[in-house]
Structure 1
């Protein structure tokens, strides 16, 4: 599994004919998280005229709300801004404070889309992948060699366990699986115990894979 999303919260605002538009985007992993974000913004901006939202979760769930604006003029353009960038696991909420001048249907569509685009353009875009995790158990003598190999290959890892031997947990992208397994065997003189575990989500940023 692989998808494109944003790395962190992003916010941008602008004024259109005296109406203030505030666009906010947040990476989310479930519909529940998206709803919590929406409720948080609504609570924060109870006095706003509208709190329009849209979200996409792993390309399977998409939701949107015009929140009182004319049908199709608010939630739809926000969702389209998300989908045009091929983003998923993203929720965008656009808050509007009415300035007294009507924008018309076309003006609303352009304004809500602009608010969504601005906050998404300001966000750091990352690629997220689900990759297998290998559990590697070696003696302390060989552990530093395994760590050096993982660092050289740029492998993300979970917290190791230090008992009679050391057990490390390494995320390995498919292209590096054969090389990693072969070299772990070589570095440990064939003594390493290796087992494929569950999977982990990692983000690709600046040429490296990092745990999400």
Structure 2
């Protein structure tokens, strides 16, 4: 898993109209080429009656691909991929669907239209920074929990994800890898710690 990368936060379908042609953009955050291909198939099936379903993706391991899907070579897939590269995104697939409106756009017009739709789709879906986290479960008593809270307020790079107050306190904490050693030093003398899994969170990047 990549420690820090940029992708989209919440997919939002985006539509633009250029000289009577309708362009519909869809994007999805994912992790593998298989997921990307499945997403492309899903959108292409949803808009199976469209003139074109052009796409691009890039995932971990610098694996990428793009397709003009019948548009003139270099006018659709590559411009969509160019937008992914422009924003330094990874683990993303974008499909731009076109319904031809009867007016030809020309090579430059097609490049601009597919780029604009991909750009709008990404911005509407919000760009986010994804951080690799390690999730730990901690069990402690109430007095030590109060001490943990006090000490954790002095550092950043963590987030409480679950809390359970019974006879003792049990909670899950997500820790950024860069802060793992420091935070575990705080926790290990205050209770029992168990590593659960790796996960990630997305933090919206404000434009």
Structure 1 length as normaliser, TM-score? Answer: 0.80
Count of residue correspondences: 203
Partner of 2:50: 48
- Tell me how large the CA RMSD over aligned residues is: 2.8
Aligned partners of 2:94, 2:205: CA distance in 1, in Å? 25
Q: 1:116 to 1:59 in 2, by over 3 A?
A: farther
Q: 1:36 aligns with which of 38, 41, 49?
A: 38
Q: 1:59 to 1:6 in 2, by over 3 A?
A: farther
Q: What pairs up with 1:15-164 in 2 under 5 angstroms?
A: 15-58=17-60, 60-139=62-141, 142-143=144-145, 146=148, 153=156, 155-159=158-162
Q: Unaligned 5+ residue runs, structure 1?
A: 208-212
Structure 2 length as normaliser, TM-score? Answer: 0.82
Q: CA deviation at 1:94?
A: 0.5
Partner of 2:192: 193
Q: CA deviation at 1:50?
A: 0.2
2:13 match: secondary structure: strand
Q: CA deviation at 1:28?
A: 1.7
Q: What pairs up with 1:160-199 in 2 under 5 angstroms?
A: 166-174=169-177, 176-177=179-180, 179-184=182-187, 190-196=189-195, 198-199=197-198
Deviations 1:33-82 (A, max 9, x none): 22222122111111100000111113621111111111111100000011
